[in-house]
A = this chain, B = another copy of it.
């Protein structure tokens, strides 16, 4: 099995983090997980599992769908990716682990990472203990807005 993915200089720093995070969460470090992580990390969008499968296959032709699901699951549980659930159908994955929210364009169905100044300490009802939050803002993206309807 040939895989040139990690020979990229710009990906080098990711490997160490990946290995550490995986083992911290009780997962093994495998070539497939390394590759799926690399492919997701260099994605500028929010691919579905199937899109990840197609992209991963380009450099690792023998990888299977089940393995892609397995790898994505390991990445999510290791804190290296997020699941994004904004529309019906396939779940999407987000490699951006910095604090951010999502914008969903009702016109073009695009998903965009956005930074919005959000008060982190929500005033929750008594007894609730917040761990994290997911904020998705719906509307029209700049591109679709420039068309003016």
Contact = CB atoms under 8 A, between A and B. Distances in A.
A58 to B, nearest CB: 27
Contacts of A87: 85
Contacts of A103: 124, 128
Interface of A: 83, 85-88, 91, 103, 106, 112, 114-119, 122-143, 145-146
Contacts of A86: 85, 134
Given A127-B141, A130-B137, A137-B130, A119 B122 contact: no
Given A135-B133, A137-B122, A142 B128 contact: yes
22 contacts: A83-B88, A85-B87, A86-B134, A103-B124, A106-B131, A114-B125, A116-B124, A117-B122, A118-B122, A127-B143, A127-B145, A128-B139, A128-B140, A128-B141, A128-B142, A129-B139, A129-B145, A130-B138, A130-B139, A131-B138, A132-B139, A134-B136
Copies in the complex: 2
Nearest to A102: B134
A130 B114 CA distance: 12
B114 A142 contact: no
A80 to B, nearest CB: 18
